[in-house]
A = this chain, B = another copy of it.
Amino acid sequence: MKKSIFYHAGCPVCVSAEHDIIGLVGANNVEVVNIGEDRSRISEAEKAGVKSVPALVTPNGNTLHINYGASMADVKG
């Protein structure tokens, strides 16, 4: 199965959501990307429709914004 991608920026809301998502979906089914550290992947996240983090992009390409940690503008700023 294609993996989901969980984008986050290290914020407390992100870390909490990451634990929940991994608990639900399984660590093997999710790639975790910290776009605060790995800034080369910000544009990829934006193209996937990520407007805020944490967000989960599903294998079929839908973006689920989960709770609210930071906007993409905050991450880039």
- A residues adjacent to B (C-beta < 8 A): 4, 16-17, 20-21, 23-25, 29, 56, 58-60, 62, 64-68
Assembly stoichiometry (copies) = 2
Cα distance, A67 to B68, chains bound together (Å): 9
With the chains together, A67 CA to B66 CA distance in Å?
6
Q: Give bound CA distance, A15 to B68, whole Å.
A: 20
| A67 contacts B64, C-beta separation under 8 Å | yes
CA distance A24 to B17 in the complex (A): 15
Interface residue from B16, B60, B65 paired with A66 (Cβ < 8 Å): B65
Q: Note all chain B residues with C-beta closer than 8 A to A16.
A: 62
CB of A58 within 8 A of CB of B23, answer yes
